[in-house]
């Protein structure tokens, strides 16, 4: 294929300005990188730098009047406006949920990779929520969890009428309901990643372990777990970052009512509703710092624990 399409006679092209190899090389490097770098600068690098600048000013986002206030936004955020940071506490629920989700995903991945009959069907069913539109899913859950909604009706039909709850009205329960919606959505995704990692564990190790009479738990503990430790660690890091960035599902289900506001919701509200761009930017910077610290700590814990990076 290459030989036919590539048969360009060396002298066939007119010797232009960039005919020399070095010139052509320079042209292709510059030409291929200019668009990616412009996009990177415009939508990632510059916004990040500008965010830090915004966090030092007071601005309503529209008027030409921007007042430089130095670290005042941060001082207020840690002082009288500490309440603005409070939604970050809600991330702990999502973090707890994502640890549970990782454990469940690993459990399901391990038992599905043993080739139980029907495992393909189960894998598909559990993964399905990940490919669905988040607004659609959230509205479905909003209906499912309301009083006398789908969940209550199901419990009643199954003879578990006693278990019916105010899933989104109860101030404590609502947080776990939202965590459930989030686990529902992402469990299958994590399952697939772990399942993929399990495929690379050599089967003969299990064979040998079985001959020596190792129990299933021992096989998991000594063969499976060490081989997927890295992937699980990475997933834990992603889960941590994810639990600090939750937005759409709680926003669409409760709108932040009943103390379910997440930090991203608070930032967006501060910037686009209350039009305090400076404060919203300071909050964003705090979030970036928290994310970085959490990721670094977990990286250290992973590499420091034992084994290689």
Partner 1 sequence: MTNPSTVGASWLRPPRAFRRLTPLKLFWLCVHYAALLLASLLVISPLAIAFITSFKQPIEMLRGEKTDLPADWANLANYTDFLTEQPIGLAFYNTLFVLLFALAISVLVGTMAAWVIDRFRFRGRATILTLYVLVMAVPMITTQVSTYEVVQFLGLVGSKWSLILLYGGADVVSLYVFIQFCQSIDREIDESARIEGASYWQIYWKVILPLLVPAISTVAILRTIHIYNDFVLPYLYTPRVEQSTVSILLYRSSDMMSANSEAVLMAGIMIVIAPSIIAFLLLQRQIVSGVMRGAVKG
Phi, psi for 158 (deg, rounded to 5)? -80, 5
Min dist CB 130 to partner 1, Å, is 7
Min dist CB 169 to partner 1, Å, is 16
Q: Would you say 121 or 308 has its CB closer to partner 1?
A: 121
Min dist CB 8 to partner 1, Å, is 5
Min dist CB 106 to partner 1, Å, is 13
Q: H helices within the chain, ranges in order?
A: 2-5, 21-40, 46-54, 72-78, 91-112, 119-127, 134-145, 150-157, 173-199, 203-211, 216-219, 225-244, 248-253, 263-268, 277-305
Q: Would you say 35 or 83 has its CB closer to partner 1?
A: 35
Q: Would you say 72 or 277 has its CB closer to partner 1?
A: 277
- The span from the CA of 282 to the CA of 153, in Å, is 45
Min dist CB 78 to partner 1, Å, is 19
The DSSP string of 126-151 is HHGGGGS-HHHHHHHHHHHHSTTSHH
- The span from the CA of 254 to the CA of 143, in Å, is 11
Q: Would you say 123 or 175 has its CB closer to partner 1?
A: 123
Phi, psi for 140 (deg, rounded to 5)? -60, -45
Q: Would you say 116 or 301 has its CB closer to partner 1?
A: 116
Task: Name the residue among 136, 137, 108, 140 with its Cα closest to residue 124.
Answer: 108
Min dist CB 93 to partner 1, Å, is 19
Q: Would you say 3 or 309 has its CB closer to partner 1?
A: 3
- The span from the CA of 156 to the CA of 173, in Å, is 19
């Amino acid at each position: 294929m290459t030989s036919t399409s590539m048969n360009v006679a060396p002298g066939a092209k007119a010797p232009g300005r960039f005919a020399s190899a070095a010139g052509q090389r320079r042209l292709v490097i510059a030409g291929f990188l200019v668009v990616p770098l412009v996009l990177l600068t415009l939508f990632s690098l510059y916004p990040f730098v500008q965010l830090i600048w915004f966090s030092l000013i007071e601005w309503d986002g529209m008027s030409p009047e921007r007042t430089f206030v130095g670290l005042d936004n941060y001082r207020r955020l840690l002082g009288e406006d500490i309440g603005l940071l409070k939604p970050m506490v809600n991330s702990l629920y999502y973090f707890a949920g994502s640890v549970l989700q990782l454990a469940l995903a690993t459990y399901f991945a391990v038992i599905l990779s043993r080739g139980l009959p029907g495992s393909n069907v189960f894998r598909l069913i559990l993964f399905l929520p990940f490919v669905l539109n988040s607004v659609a899913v959230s509205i479905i859950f909003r209906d499912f969890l309301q009083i006398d909604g789908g969940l209550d009706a199901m419990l009643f039909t199954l003879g578990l009428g006693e278990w019916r709850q105010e899933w989104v009205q109860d101030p404590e329960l609502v947080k776990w309901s939202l965590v459930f919606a989030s686990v529902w959505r992402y469990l299958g995704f994590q399952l697939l990643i772990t399942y993929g990692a399990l495929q690379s564990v050599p089967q003969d190790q299990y064979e040998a372990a079985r001959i020596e009479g190792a129990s299933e738990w021992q096989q998991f503990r000594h063969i499976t777990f060490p081989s997927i430790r890295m992937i699980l660690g990475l997933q834990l890091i992603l889960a941590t970052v994810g639990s600090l960035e939750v937005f759409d599902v709680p926003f669409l289900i409760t709108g932040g009512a009943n103390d379910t506001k997440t930090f991203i919701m608070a930032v967006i509200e501060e910037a686009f509703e209350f039009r305090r761009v400076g404060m919203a930017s300071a909050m964003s910077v705090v979030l970036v710092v928290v994310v970085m610290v959490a990721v670094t700590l977990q990286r250290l814990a992973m590499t420091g624990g034992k084994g290689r990076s």
